[in-house]
Amino acid sequence: MSREITTENVIPSGLPGGIFVYDAEDDLTIRFVDQNVVALYGCSSVEEFREHVHNTFDGMVHPDDYAKIQNDINAQTFGIDKRHDYVRYRIITKQGDVRYVEDFGHLLHGPDGKKYFYVYIVDVNKDEFLNRNRNSLAESQILSAMADTDPLTGIASMKSFYDDVQMLLDSPNCPHELAFAHFNIMHFKVFNEEYGFQAGDDLLCLLARILHEEFEGALVARFSNDHFAVCAPMGIAKMIEHVTHIHSAMIAAHDDTRVVVKAGIYQLDDSCHEVGAACDHARLACNTVKRRYDRVYGIYDTNLYESLRLQQYVIDNVDVAVAHHHLKVFYQPIVRISTGKICGYEALARWDDPRLGFLPPSHFVQTLEEYCLIHKVDLYVLRKVLEDMAMLRAAGEPVVPVSVNLSRLDFELCDVFGETEKCRKEFGFEPDMLDIEITESTLNENAVFLVDTIEKFREAGYRVWVDDFGSGYSALNSLLDYDFDVLKLDLEFLHTFDEHPRAGVLIRNVIQMARGMGVEPLQEGVERKEHLDFLREEGCEMAQGFYFARPMLLEDSRAATRAKGLEWECRA
């Protein structure tokens, strides 16, 4: 094909439409244009037209319309079986007038293997252009074909994917091995904000192309936003290879930013015969690795299913557990090392479910925090603690302060200070009988509402404890932003004490730091007499751990400590 634009007079001039040809790749150079197209753009010659549109297809399109129609063309001609496109856009004539056109394109391959678009373009009036219900027959046919195609990326839509996969599952020729994968671009909304929505669309189209090429012959679809799905006749090992390659390809495609794609994989088994369930399994597996920077993919298995089922059960039944007292408060004593007497308790939540049995905190606390329901448990524990303390007081038993754990979310989801004050006053206790435990990681939030609420507690007479100090990445600066009364060293300090001689030096220095700040140090995880002797020698104020007693129900705990000869401090 000639590299120069030709205008052989094979098409009569003066017709309402015209034909042009341009490179489908590279710089979209125009290779042929007839006189009708030249006239449509208000030009008198090919040379004038070429100069006006810079001899490229993108120069023919109104700049505000180009990005959208280019996406539409790519979507309609994506894949080896798609050759036609239909788009509408505006053009700007040589005189500066805006016209409205319909564009019918046919993608062909030249003898040299290059791709070319042969386009018939026709002028339409503005009303027709804006009225999407008045489609021509050709447009109707194209739009009908597009109903099964994602309009942005050109791969299958979710509906088409579901239909095709279900047909495959119901077929007697269904492959013996069939794997599903759900792909998700991490932080896609942030990418859109940073680089713009057009760049976001380009990113989605890139992933669609990579998936289409990677899974040649398989079923590939875009479900919504940045969620894609694949169904391919292969085992898990092979699917993992493809997923890993796609992850690497997406990272390599961008020099200026790191685009991470995560995936969930599900191997079809005999228990699943419905495409929706299979896709959901893959999606759930993907969700398990979204916050795992060390993992690219998750695999759905029975353990994941049981975990998700338990999670849903906790969400559905937390209100029932509160109303019917399935939540239990376990108490673990805190001992003042200098006297050997019980100076307090920590209240710990447990769930004794009539259906599932005993649930430790690891089975429900994280779920309730994730779904913003944890405050229901924490407020229940607060009330139950005060009820138990009131019962002991009425029975003439010695009563010592009890610490209650508050989640960071408690400070957001309710007026935790107001609820605490209301409940405390109802049972007639002074503020110094309740200690407020907040995990060290909570302090790292440094939110204004958190600082203000903690200060309210201290001003009202409550003691505030920092729990689990040293359990994660301790930010010592956070200790300067808050006023607190007790620093509770994480039990891992003593666990390493048994194995590493330098652990003792670390514990010693943390205790000295706390005392230097005017804060009482408390070490949890005390399991042996050697632990207690070391803490006593280093001047630690209080200790907690299995050496004294495990967490138990109130009656059991007091009976166990009495049997060990432990006494309670007397409060004036």
- The rounded distance, in Å, linking the Cα atoms of 426 and 551 is 27
Whether 359 is covered by a domain: the verdict is yes
Whether 136 is covered by a domain: the verdict is yes
My answer on whether 513 and 379 are in the same domain is yes
My answer on whether 85 and 46 are in the same domain is yes
Domain region containing 429: 310-563
The sign of the dihedral angle between the CA atoms of 56, 62, 66, 67 is: positive
My answer on whether 426 and 483 are in the same domain is yes
Sheet containing 261-267: which strands, arranged edge to edge? 219-224, 227-232, 179-185, 261-267, 297-299
Domain boundary among 241, 266, 300: 300
My answer on whether 184 and 244 are in the same domain is yes
Domain boundary among 122, 146, 170: 146
My answer on whether 322 and 288 are in the same domain is no
| Segment 401-428, tens digit of pLDDT | 999 999 989 998 999 999 999 999 999 9
**Which candidate, 131, 155, 75, 151, places its Cα nearest to that of 107?**
75
Whether 245 is covered by a domain: the verdict is yes
Number of domains in the chain: 3
- The rounded distance, in Å, linking the Cα atoms of 34 and 11 is 7
What per-residue confidence (pLDDT) applies to 2?
Answer: 45
My answer on whether 452 and 518 are in the same domain is yes
Contacts 24+ apart (CB under 8 A), 314-323: 314/351, 314/359, 314/363, 314/364, 314/367, 314/368, 315/367, 315/368, 315/371, 315/373, 317/353, 318/364, 318/368, 318/373, 318/376, 318/377, 319/376, 321/351, 321/353, 322/376, 322/377, 322/380
Whether 250 is covered by a domain: the verdict is yes
Domain boundary among 300, 333, 358: 300
Contact 416, 455 (CB under 8 A): no
Q: What are the residue ranges in the chain where pLDDT is below 70?
A: 1-14, 78-82, 126-147, 440-447, 471-479, 572
- The rounded distance, in Å, linking the Cα atoms of 180 and 265 is 6
My answer on whether 292 and 367 are in the same domain is no
pTM above 0.85, yes or no: no
What per-residue confidence (pLDDT) applies to 3?
Answer: 46
My answer on whether 315 and 283 are in the same domain is no
My answer on whether 330 and 356 are in the same domain is yes
Burial class (CB in 10 A: 0-12, 13-18, 19+), 120: middle
What per-residue confidence (pLDDT) applies to 571?
Answer: 72
What per-residue confidence (pLDDT) applies to 504?
Answer: 84
- The rounded distance, in Å, linking the Cα atoms of 473 and 494 is 17
My answer on whether 389 and 411 are in the same domain is yes
My answer on whether 294 and 328 are in the same domain is no
My answer on whether 141 and 164 are in the same domain is no
Whether 454 is covered by a domain: the verdict is yes
| CATH number of the domain to which 550 belongs | 3.20.20.450
